Chains A and B, each alone.
Chain A
């Protein structure tokens, strides 16, 4: 593979990590959804580039799924949901942005240290993509942990899934069937979560997941 192709692939993957950090920083819901859309768009571009480089037409389909569903449909649905629930002006009081960022950098360092050691024998593209993909997954988890709002948790979940796809395409072997089924399961999960959101909202008049904890009799 030519160095330029490698550079571009690396650029997309690194950009994905960067957008994950943007997600961690953004505390308003509507811009957060835009960031998710950007995240998926970058993923689509990255996958398309992999398809071009690996000469693997299946991956174009994956890219289309990422672009269509995750970059357009789901964000639009989320946006409608936020507006209908009247959450679009809400600012989420997350754990301090600075602290989250520091944790995030620590996680990126950790995943690099780990992945570069584990995949020592593999080729450069795979190593880097897997290391960066693990970072994206961990950052998504961090986001789900530090946020209280159910919608931001959904967005964190989506970004985790994006990270998994990045890892899968880099490793040249994720069969299309798996990919499509993952995409559909995510879609279904999304619908289920959406339905749940409205139910939570009807019952508790908020989407703050703390309300659920209280309902289950747990104390924070």
Chain B
């Protein structure tokens, strides 16, 4: 524990020191190097101490009668490892990427502070320091989002982010207020001991879902995420998408599983329903998008939905006393959180490399980069396959666990849940299949085909640091998919602490298979599948090259006899998504197309326009925004009163309050 706190203090010190160094040329490598070292140290500490008993520390900060409590328990360790591994790889990436930053002074001081804030949220052990560090995390990330403050889009993104972040903190504040009870004992130990009435607990849980969900990007609270994440520099986008959403999920798990005590079965409903909707809608949004970083941000929303489904299932199982099943579902949630950190970081790093190399982030203006950037395209491909839940990568391992926890759901006693969970399973399968479509599209339009602009044709491979970060993360995606048993075993202390059950130990199973429930039910062995695939692909290649013709001729592409050399004849990302837009988007987004054909004799080009509507924005936020606008216009009159009237307003308010107190006091 002291070591963790010392490291976090170190990050804060780096943040302050960077202010002094700003003008210096070495500032960028120094700051990122220091962050890399400290994050690695924290990550190692978390990896090693997950199995140990929790340790606490109280610092004389914050509220005078409370102090700042910090605690390192298995759950905190699991998330510390996720946070700091993401931070370390982002720092490594930034060693190279950060040199392209035009205004390093807008990034360097906030970056270490942001890392420190995320760490502090995870180790905080009382409501006051939790909320304080949570808000600190929001503000530092907001500052990082505003790096490119000169573009109008960034300003808008920052504005929306600030509003949604404040709203989320507000909800969490009330949640903790309810949890702490009338006496206001804010230490987490006291909250754990405090038991709420059923109705109050439900309200607190709902507030926690809203608060944590707005930070994690649950639909319909996601609107800021696809604006803010892409606006930041790419290593910060990776951190916000891969790591900060995990901190939000940590908050939900901490409140729902740890602080609130024994759950009721219906607590799982908001997480299941919102999670399922989020998973399916998030990836549909991603399919409609052509900005590479926004595609990635929307896919983050999808993955957050998947994690919430798993957490909701775990809550339902825990409420019904099915400890083993709860452990399975919670392991799936934590495993997927870890996996998402790995592949989303890789993908954002790849996107950053593309932006540095071409200056473009619209996938309609890219293409053919696989020839110019072979290594980073390989890493991006691996991460794309991982995020599409395809074996032998890690995304499949965690979603496989989740599917199996859905298969256990008939053991639940509640008929409503029995019927709901398969429906959520459909949404999950839909999200997985659509994610594959989404990433075929993103990868294909960016890296494959012919370059669509001159900038894409002249791209150069990323620098060594960035490549190292990408390749390390991509390799870990593969390794975590090949040896999921080790990850599962490593996560078990955190799972056991929360749901009292645990999955069967995986290390002793022969051939490194994983077995979620029992061997006769199901087992999966990524390593064996991967070796078989590698062997048979190699064997096929050898046999074919040995016995068949080895000649290769180069020729222009054939295209069924109708080759069009023009680049516009190439399939674009928008047209790739057209069938899915027609099938799924017609209802969800009211998507339709319109052909504008000039009259005969007119030489203008015909145009095909497509129309999309964001249902969440239109039906939820636009009415709220217009209501705020209207009421602001009405209240504007209050600004032009005389002093006597202002005084009378204050006086009337005071009297009303006193009367209320007299009546109910």
Contacts and interface: CB of A to CB of B under 8 A. Distances in A.
B539 interface: no
Nearest to B422: A109
A92 interface: no
Contacts of B423: 109
Interface residues of B, number: 5
Contacts of A96: 587
A109 B587 CA distance: 23
B60 interface: no
Contacts of B419: 109, 112-113
A117 interface: yes
A116 B419 CA distance: 12
A201 to B, nearest CB: 34
Nearest to B583: A98
A99 B588 CA distance: 12
B63 interface: no
Interface string B412-449: 00011001000100000000000000000000000000
A131 B362 CA distance: 53
A163 B587 CA distance: 32
Contacts of A112: 415, 419
Contacts of B415: 112-113, 116-117
A96 B416 CA distance: 27
Residue of A96, A109, A116, A117 with highest tally of chain B CB at under 10 A: A109
A80 B419 CA distance: 42
A117 B419 CA distance: 13
Interface residues of A, number: 7
Interface string B60-71: 000000000000
B584 to A, nearest CB: 10
A112 B416 CA distance: 10
B403 to A, nearest CB: 20
Contacts of A116: 415
Contacts of A117: 415
A112 B406 CA distance: 20
Contacts of B587: 96, 99
A117 B415 CA distance: 8
Residue of B419, B423, B587 with highest tally of chain A CB at under 10 A: B419
A112 B414 CA distance: 12
B415 to A, nearest CB: 5
Nearest to B414: A113
A78 to B, nearest CB: 33
A116 B416 CA distance: 11
Contacts of A109: 419, 423
Interface in B607-640: none
Nearest to A113: B415
Interface string B579-604: 00000000100000000000000000
A109 B415 CA distance: 10
Nearest to A99: B587
A106 B187 CA distance: 45
Contacts of A99: 587
Contacts of B416: 113
B236 to A, nearest CB: 41
Interface string B282-293: 000000000000
Contacts of A113: 415-416, 419
A202 B327 CA distance: 69
Nearest to A102: B423
Nearest to A116: B415
A116 B418 CA distance: 12
Nearest to A98: B587
Interface in A115-146: 116-117
A146 to B, nearest CB: 16
A111 to B, nearest CB: 11
A183 to B, nearest CB: 34
Interface string A155-197: 0000000000000000000000000000000000000000000
Nearest to B415: A113
A96 B423 CA distance: 20
A96 B588 CA distance: 14
A103 B567 CA distance: 45
Interface in B287-342: none
B592 to A, nearest CB: 15
Nearest to B418: A113
Residue of A112, A113, A117 with highest tally of chain B CB at under 10 A: A113
Interface in A89-116: 96, 99, 109, 112-113, 116
B358 to A, nearest CB: 41
B427 to A, nearest CB: 12
A39 to B, nearest CB: 25
B255 to A, nearest CB: 30
A133 B591 CA distance: 39
A16 to B, nearest CB: 20
B366 to A, nearest CB: 35
A130 to B, nearest CB: 15
Nearest to B419: A109
A112 B423 CA distance: 15
Interface in B423-480: 423
Interface in B105-137: none
A109 B417 CA distance: 11
A101 to B, nearest CB: 13
B201 to A, nearest CB: 24
B524 to A, nearest CB: 30
A108 B211 CA distance: 35
A108 B419 CA distance: 10
A95 to B, nearest CB: 12
A113 B423 CA distance: 14
A86 to B, nearest CB: 32
A112 B587 CA distance: 28
B501 to A, nearest CB: 28
A172 to B, nearest CB: 25
B200 to A, nearest CB: 28
A51 B415 CA distance: 31
B91 to A, nearest CB: 47
A112 B419 CA distance: 9
A109 B416 CA distance: 9
5 contacts: A99-B587, A109-B419, A113-B415, A113-B419, A117-B415
Given A109-B419, A113-B416, A117-B415, 8 more contacts: A96-B587, A99-B587, A109-B423, A112-B415, A112-B419, A113-B415, A113-B419, A116-B415
5 smallest CB-CB distances across A and B, nearest first, come from: A109-B419, A113-B415, A113-B416, A116-B415, A113-B419
Interface of A: 96, 99, 109, 112-113, 116-117
Interface of B: 415-416, 419, 423, 587
